Amino acid sequence: MNRLIRPSLDAIFKKNKEWVATKTNADPAFFDKLSAGQSPDYLDSRVPANEIMGLEAGEVFVHRNIANLVPNVDLNVMSVINYAVRHLHVKHIIVCGHYNCGGVKAALTSADLGLLNPWLRNIRDVYRLHEQELDAIKEDDKRYNRLIELNVIESCRNIIKTAAVQQSYENNQYPIVHGLVFDLRDGLLRDLEVDFESMLQDVKKIYCLSPGSKTE
């Protein structure tokens, strides 16, 4: 049994060393700068955040979970948002989904997935919120992909419900919340063009946690 859990990541460590060498060759001070601090943004996805945005280590603070959900009672994601906004002062929060998401498809199958059920149920809730629109889309793939977009937008809304985001935006005019979808076929990001200001005003009608601010 010990054999089975004995670490053997030689290939990985080799790659890591190559990456370190590449970074150090290109910029001898790279790791010195990194260790001097981080000023990240926040991104949630099932794709490597830094790479697809062409950004370096130290620039993107990352939380990743199944189907980029932001459940209101999930302490995990709420801690990440709180820390990123109140302590790292991120300027942008990105929710990033991706088309052809297996998790979203799994969430819509009539199967008992045990431990995964409560997590994936959040996606079914998004479907229920947009039932008419989604039911009207006849093609399965198109309907799934629209659900993926709506799921991203719902996560944006849940982020905006937090006290940290509302208060920080009121005082500092940041962070701004964005919804993106990554297309695995060509590696491109599509901006869903979430209107942050108007979504914030809309959310605050019921979820206002920044008493100093005005709602319209």
Determine which residue in the list 25, 34, 143, 156 makes contact with other proteins, applying CB under 8 A.
34
Number of residues that bind other proteins (CB under 8 A): 100
Residue partners of 94: CB distance under 8 A and separation at least 6: 41, 42, 43, 44, 177, 178, 179, 180
Which residues in the 142-161 window bind other proteins by CB under 8 A? none
Contact between 77 and other proteins (CB under 8 A)?
yes
Contact between 176 and other proteins (CB under 8 A)?
yes
Contact between 134 and other proteins (CB under 8 A)?
no
Three-class secondary structure of residue 134 per DSSP? helix
- Which segment (111-119, 128-136, 140-148, 149-157) binds other proteins by CB under 8 A? 111-119
Nearer to other proteins by C-beta: 132 or 186?
Answer: 186
Nearer to other proteins by C-beta: 131 or 171?
Answer: 171
CA dihedral 74, 180, 169, 208 (to 10 degrees): -50
Residue partners of 46: CB distance under 8 A and separation at least 6: 64, 68, 98, 101, 103
